[in-house]
Amino acid sequence: MRTLVTGSTGFIGSQLCTYLKKDHQVYVEKRVSNSGELTNNSNQSTDHLQSILDQSNIEVVVHLAAKTPLKNSSNADETEEFFRSNLVATQNLANRCEASGVKRFVFMSSVKVLGEGKDTAYSNDDEPKPSDDYAKSKWQAEQFLLEMGTRSNMEIVIIRAPLVYGPSVKGNFLKLIQLVEKGIPFPFGLIQNRRSMVYVGNLVNAIERCMTHPNAAGKTYLVSDDNDVSTPEIIRCIASALNQSSRLIPIPVALLKLIGIVLGKKEAMRRLLGSLAIDIQAIKNDLNWNPPFNLDEGITLTIEWYRSKK
Q: Which residues contact residue 60 at a Cβ distance below 8 angstroms, ignoring those fewer than 6 apart?
A: 1, 2, 3, 4, 102, 103, 104, 105, 106, 211
Nearest C-alpha neighbor of 304 from the set 169, 213, 164:
169
Indicate the Cα dihedral angle 226, 232, 235, 241, nearest 10°. Answer: -70
Report the distance separating Cα 139 and Cα 142, nearest Å: 5
Give the residue numbers marked as catalytic.
134
> Is 253 in a helix, a strand, or coil?
helix
- Phi then psi dihedrals of residue 3, to 5 deg: -125, 130
Report the distance separating Cα 260 and Cα 264, nearest Å: 6
What residues form DSSP beta bridges with 155? 104
Nearest C-alpha neighbor of 299 from the set 165, 169, 184:
165
Report the distance separating Cα 113 and Cα 124, nearest Å: 10
Q: How many CB atoms sit inside 10 A of residue 117's CB? A: 12
Identity at 98, one-letter amino acid code: E
Q: Are 53 and 2 in contact (CB under 8 A)?
A: no
What residues form DSSP beta bridges with 183? none
Between the alpha carbon of residue 310 and those of residues 134, 181, 304, the distances in Å are: 33, 12, 10
Report the distance separating Cα 66 and Cα 38, nearest Å: 9
- Phi then psi dihedrals of residue 11, to 5 deg: -55, -55
Identity at 224, one-letter amino acid code: S
Identify the sign of the CA torsion 209, 215, 219, 221.
negative
